[in-house]
Structure 1
Amino acid sequence: MPKIDALAGIECYCTGFAGTGGSIKQDSASFQVSELVDESLLGMSKEYSGAHRYPLYLLEKEGVDSNHALFEIERAHRVRLRVMGIKDAKAVTSQYAGVERAWQGAPRELRTSHTKLTLQGFTKKPLGKESLAGNEFSIIIRGADHKDISGFVPEVKKIANFYGLQRFGSERLVTHLVGKEIVKRDFGKAVEFLLSYTTEYDTEMSREIRNRCRDPAGYRQALKEMPRGMDIERQLLSALVAGKDAVSALRAVPIQIRRLFVQAYQAYLFNKCVSRALAQGEDISAPKQGDLCFEMEGPAIFGRIKKFDPLSKAPSVPAVRMAGYTFQPGKGRFETITRELLEQEGVVAKDFYVKEMQELSQQGGFRQAPLWCRDFMYKTDHLTVSFKLPKGSYATTLLRELIKPQDPIRAGF
């Protein structure tokens, strides 16, 4: 198994399928994503009215992730938008974006170099994450060694709901390291990781700049040399050069990005928890006595949390309680493992309430243990797979099991 997977807490495969080989995201058009929404929750009208005041746009983008797309739109049109999910840069994506204020004269269309916004109508309240049901994917696998994946289909249900590498920064894999230091209140170390952490995938120029950032005396020169694409690092360095302390410097990073740090650390702990459960021989696809479960309400929607009831006829899947400041371990198999992991990390639940940066505090919550893929289909002429996943799940988690890449980053992950 690739070393980089283990660094993200993914320590095993869930399927016995040998893997197709090949790569993804060789071009944006080969990786397409569209959001699936619960339209009843949107409460949309085609026209502005007293009850329907908040514009809802369809955001189509390519070559930029969702956060940077929103920054680009705000700079170009002075419109601040909210989205329900973060979509990758190396893809053609379609998602909904809402305006947080009433706006009767909202334009029908807006464009930037990487995005197109088309007005869909007006909603009763600003767009919220509760309206997102999931995502639909269509992905071409280039250079596959073999295209017969019939043996993979029955194993899809075994796949764990791991957070994908992009949740941690892909080839740089640093966001959870920053998050851990924030949780442990070592804000200086968090800044150090953001500025100077390197991997084997860094270019020589990137490595030189990051090495310069290891010494505060080199901050000014590093800022002069730093390319515009390293925008987070530039914002952080600018604050440090201006004499700000570590907490103030971290706050120079946009809140949408900043919140990802502690969330990535939670994701790392989740991946480690599920990996350990699988290593112990646990079946994560079906609930057992002592588990908390999601009761299914639809093909891609998880309903209320409940204790496992073997007599219940409603379909359900195991739920993992995430680390956070409300985490109270019970006797469930996943909770026991998470408690052990927190002890090994030198962290306690209350540490996730970050008094010094309250906007980064994370309560916890629940995440389903299995991937819960639906409508999986494939074509073999140009090996193409399509499927639907619930919100928060990663297509690359399924593709990792299908391709079994030796080097995930060079394979497009």
Structure 2
Amino acid sequence: MKPVPPIDRLAGIGCYCTDFAGVGGAIKQDSADFKVSEIVGDLDFAQSYGGPYRYPLYLLDKAGVDSNHALFEIEKEHRVRLRVMGIKDARATTRQYAGAQHAWKDPPRKLVTRRTRIMLQGFTKRPIGRESLAGNEFEISIRGCRGSIDNFVPEIGRIANFYGLQRFGSERLVTHLVGRAIIKRDFALAAKLLLCHTTEYDSEASREIRSKCEDPANYQQALKIMPRGMDIERQLLSALADGKDAISALRAVQITIRRLFVQAYQSYLFNLCLSRAIAAGEEIASPKPGDLCFEMEGPATFGRIIKFDAQSKALQVPAVRMAGYTFQPGKGRFESITRQLLEEEGVVARDFYVKEMQELSQQGGFRQAPLWCRDFSHRDSTVSFKLPKGSYATTLLRELIKPEDPIRAGF
């Protein structure tokens, strides 16, 4: 099986899952090449305000900006604060739902910014949450595709549900390192990594700025030359330059971004767990005695967590218990690996309850081991498919393309 690129290993992805040779090519060369639309489940809303239906629901179309920065842009230009159910990448054309967190009788019906457009759809009974998101539908064009995709289709069921590079900052690949430092209570290191960490993909200008951030004496000078696009770093550096301690400075970064750091560390451990299981010859798509499983409700809805029951007629999908402060390893194969990883990392479950920054504490939870892809089809070099929430289209595409350099190939 083809070896994985070094950057994949840095994200905990240690293997490919298919024998397919790969078609090569690149994705996300233009925002229009990567189209994403949200699939919602139970989203009860009315066309007009009244009775229990009091919370505005919008459809957000965006291109060339990630979801968090799209919301910043809308709030800055129109003084409208919204929340989304899922985070979408910048290098894509996306359609997703956004909602206000307070009752609002006469909200604007349409708002436009440079990279976004929102249209009022109606009103919900309560603010929208992630529980209403069922998944995402993708239509992706691969530029420079070589060879046939036909032989890839039978292997899709073997793909592990790895978190993609976007989870870790893509070419910077730093978010899980920041998260690890937070879990280990080294908040000064977390701030330093966020400001100063560089990779081979950094420009000379970026390297110069991050090098200056190594020395507190240079903070004011670094702020003057730091571009607006480095908004997270600017927030952190401005707080440090004002003399705030590391915890207070980290809190200058918006909470939705801060939470991603610890979640990225959990994701890294999950990727390592699946990689080790596959390297040990485990079949991650089929449940075994001792496994915890999702009991499927219909063809694409993940239901309750159960112990694998060989006598059950219900479809059961292997589940991995995520690291978190409620993690209690049982006898399952994935739990045993995660326990070993935590020992190697010098971390225990209770470390994920961060007393010093309680808003970043992470309980844990479960995630399906195989990538649960549905309705895959292709036409020439364009592929279409559906994935449940939390799964990455790029996880499927890396198996299809087998890129030599994932970052330059658009990952």
TM-score for both structures, normalised by structure 1? 0.98
Matched, 1:13 2:16: yes
- Dislocated runs of 4+, deviation >4 Å: none
Letter matched to residue 139 of structure 1: I
Contact 1:134 1:300 in 2 (8 A): no
Letter matched to residue 278 of structure 2: L
- 1:118-144 per-position Cα deviation (integer Å, ceiling 9, x unaligned): 111111111011100000000000011
* Aligned mates of 1:5, 1:92 — CA distance in 2: 25
Contact 1:42 1:124 in 2 (8 A): no
Percent sequence identity is: 75
Matched, 1:190 2:180: no
* Aligned mates of 2:359, 2:247 — CA distance in 1: 12
SS in 2 for 1:152: helix
> 2:144: which partner in 1?
143
> Residues 212-251 of structure 1 correspond to what in structure 2 (within 5 A)?
212-251=212-251
* Aligned mates of 2:39, 2:242 — CA distance in 1: 44
> 1:281: which partner in 2?
281
* Aligned mates of 2:317, 2:48 — CA distance in 1: 40
- 1:34-72 per-position Cα deviation (integer Å, ceiling 9, x unaligned): 00001xx22111111021000100000000000000111
> Residues 226-375 of structure 1 correspond to what in structure 2 (within 5 A)?
226-375=226-375
Of 369, 389, 392 in structure 1, the residue corresponding to residue 390 of structure 2 is: 392
Once the two structures are TM-superposed, the CA of residue 267 in structure 1 deviates from its matched residue by 0.2
* Aligned mates of 1:314, 1:410 — CA distance in 2: 43
Which runs of no fewer than 5 residues in structure 1 stay unpaired? Answer: none
Letter matched to residue 263 of structure 2: Q
Letter matched to residue 16 of structure 1: D
> 2:66: which partner in 1?
65
**Structure 1 range deviating more: 295-304 or 395-404:** 295-304
Letter matched to residue 58 of structure 1: L
SS in 2 for 1:386: strand
> Residues 56-95 of structure 1 correspond to what in structure 2 (within 5 A)?
56-95=57-96
TM-score for both structures, normalised by structure 2? 0.99
Letter matched to residue 330 of structure 2: G
> 1:4: which partner in 2?
7
Letter matched to residue 218 of structure 2: G
Once the two structures are TM-superposed, the CA of residue 78 in structure 1 deviates from its matched residue by 1.1
> Residues 90-239 of structure 1 correspond to what in structure 2 (within 5 A)?
90-146=91-147, 148-239=148-239
- 1:288-317 per-position Cα deviation (integer Å, ceiling 9, x unaligned): 100000011133321100000001111110
Letter matched to residue 218 of structure 1: N
> 1:43: which partner in 2?
44
* Aligned mates of 2:370, 2:346 — CA distance in 1: 28
Letter matched to residue 379 of structure 2: K
> 1:29: which partner in 2?
32
> 1:407: which partner in 2?
405
* Aligned mates of 2:153, 2:163 — CA distance in 1: 21
* Aligned mates of 1:343, 1:179 — CA distance in 2: 17
* Aligned mates of 2:301, 2:210 — CA distance in 1: 43
Once the two structures are TM-superposed, the CA of residue 372 in structure 1 deviates from its matched residue by 0.6
Once the two structures are TM-superposed, the CA of residue 216 in structure 1 deviates from its matched residue by 1.1
SS in 2 for 1:357: helix
- 1:214-244 per-position Cα deviation (integer Å, ceiling 9, x unaligned): 1111111111110110000000000001000
- 1:98-154 per-position Cα deviation (integer Å, ceiling 9, x unaligned): 1111111012111111100011111111101110000000000001122x1111000
* Aligned mates of 1:72, 1:107 — CA distance in 2: 16
- 1:176-228 per-position Cα deviation (integer Å, ceiling 9, x unaligned): 00000000000000001000000000000000110111111111111111011
For this pair of structures, how many residues does the alignment match?
Answer: 408
* Aligned mates of 2:311, 2:120 — CA distance in 1: 47
* Aligned mates of 1:75, 1:347 — CA distance in 2: 40
SS in 1 for 2:247: helix
Letter matched to residue 390 of structure 1: P
* Aligned mates of 2:199, 2:129 — CA distance in 1: 36
- 1:254-278 per-position Cα deviation (integer Å, ceiling 9, x unaligned): 0110100000000000000000000
- 1:328-364 per-position Cα deviation (integer Å, ceiling 9, x unaligned): 0000000000000000000000000000000000000
* Aligned mates of 1:114, 1:387 — CA distance in 2: 25
